[in-house]
Every structure is written in C-alpha cells, then in structure tokens.
Amino acid sequence: MYTIGLDSGSTTTKGVLFSNEELIDKYLIPTAGNPKKAMSDVVGYFKRKYVLNDLKLVTTGYGRKLLPADLVITEITCHGKGADYLSPGVKQVIDIGGQDCKTIQLNGKGNVVEFSMNDRCAAGTGRFVEVMMRTLGEDITDLDQFVQDAEPVTINSMCTVFAESEVISLISKGEDREDIALGVLHSIAQRISSQYSKLRPARGEKVLFTGGLSKSATFAKVLEQYVSAPVKCDELSQYAGAIGAAQIGIKKLG
C-alpha cells in the first residue's frame, strides 16, 4: 500500500510518500495563496513519478478539507505522531510555521497530552522573521550565515508592524543589521518560551523543533537558552505534520 501524507500550511504545502512503512519520497512547494492547487500539485508530483497502486491519501493542516481524502486529521494530532516518528519517545515539541506557532506535550508514544497554539498574531512565526529580514535587506534563507558573528540588539516590539518600525529606527541609529537580526531571533525565542512554559515541561527535557524555522541551526541554539533544555532538529522536521498524517493513515487504513 502507498500512503501520501499531505500537510497544507499557510506558507508551504508538504507531502510525503510511504510504501508500506518505508518513506520513499518527499515534496514541498509554496502554498502561494492557493492551498487547493498546491495540494493537488503535490499529489500530482507523486503520481507522475511513481506507479501508485492501492494509494491512500491523508490530509492535515489549514487546507485539509479541500481535497477528497481517505482520512482528514487535525494538525496537532499529526504533528505529535510525526514528532514521535522523527524522535521516538520525545515528549516536548515546538513547531514554528509560517503563520502560527505550536507547543505540544506528548506522552512518549506520539499521543498529545496538552498543547498551546498561537495562530492569531504573526509575532513569533516564520512570517515575522521573513518580514524583519526583508526590512533588513536580506533573505530568510541566508539567516544563519547573516547572523554568524552577531551580538543581539534588544527588540522590544513583538507586533509585526511595530517591530518593523523599530528595526528601521535601529538601522537609522547605526546598529549593525546582523545584530538586529539576531535580536529578532532572541525576541521570538523569549515569546515562544513563555508559551512553552504553560505546558509545565519537565526541566531540561529534550525538545524536538519542527516547522519551517527549524531549518535555522542558529535559532535552535538561541531557543535552547530560553527553554533551558536541549533543542533538537531533524532534516525532516519541516515534514513532521505530513509524516504524522501518513503514519496514522498506514495504521488505520492498512
């Protein structure tokens, strides 16, 4: 049996393809304001590349109900199962996506015990970093290299609009752009740690970092300082939701 796990995010749409229990391919594209088309394009990519007999489709994320699917599952549940696949036994997860940030506590078997989600404000999300980096004249994909030797400047505003004005003001005062960028990361980490603490995690317990911002090794290191625990990433961290969807599908539909 083939299973596609499809995670429709606000910024990117992620898909993974499993053959029975084996992950054989992955695909990510920008959602670009059209989640239904992005989801169809990801499924189409797999169908063009492979002969998929006995195919099951499991969807999650914002656009999870836009395509006919064999299973439709909430994203928190999928992120829990995906996190456990990437880091078996993990109990603490921080996921930072394009438009939201989630802190999730698991029971060590991929089942969600408690979670906190911020999806009402761009502060603390990948979108926030993208806007700040654009204001600094840099691309978010160059983030780690840009802040490599920086010393963080304090950023007081977490509202995207006010923070952008603050960044412009700091530039006009002669602050180094890379120091401002690192300050942005510290301000986000501080906000996320406050959200994370509401789950009452065991002190020093390992955290799996997922979502698009998990590609930044620098941010993972900054986050460690604020949650007082080791923060680990996986090369497939951005696909956690899609992997979780596929894993649930394999067990329920197989």
Quote the Cα angle for 36-100-14, to 5°: 40
Confidence of residue 2 (pLDDT cuts 50, 70, 90): very high
Give me the amino acid identity at 99: Q
The pLDDT value recorded for residue 203 is: 87
Residue 141 CB contacts under 8 Å (≥ 6 apart), including other chains: none
Query: Could you tell me if 77 and 239 are in contact, meaning their C-beta atoms sit under 8 angstroms apart?
Result: no
**C-alpha pair distances (Å), 6 with each of 50, 80, 81, 89:** 16, 15, 14, 23
Question: Going by C-beta distance under 8 Å and a sequence separation of 6 or more, which residues neighbour residue 129?
Answer: 140, 143, 184, 185, 188, 213
What percent of the chain stands above pLDDT 90? Answer: 79
How much is the pTM? 0.91
pLDDT in tens, 191-221: 899 899 999 998 899 999 999 899 999 999 9
- What is the percent of the chain with per-residue pLDDT over 70, rounded to a whole number? 98
**Reduced to 3 states, what is the DSSP secondary structure of residue 143?**
helix
In the block, residue with structure tokens 């992950």: 23
Over range 149-167, report the average pLDDT.
85
Q: Find all residues with CB under 8 Å of 182, minimum gap 6, and list them.
A: 147, 150, 151, 152, 153, 218, 222
**Both tokens of residue 128?**
């926030």
**CATH architecture of the domain formed by 1-87+237-254:** 2-Layer Sandwich (3.30)
Residue carrying structure tokens 């197989």:
254
1-87+237-254 and 89-233 have identical folds: yes
pLDDT tens string 90-134: 999 999 988 888 999 999 999 999 999 885 566 667 888 888 898
- Domain locations in the chain? 1-87+237-254, 89-233
Q: How many CB atoms lie within 10 A of CB 115?
A: 18
The dotted CATH code for 89-233 is: 3.30.420.40
Residue 166 has pLDDT above 80, yes or no: yes
| Residue 180 · residue 170 · CB < 8 Å | yes
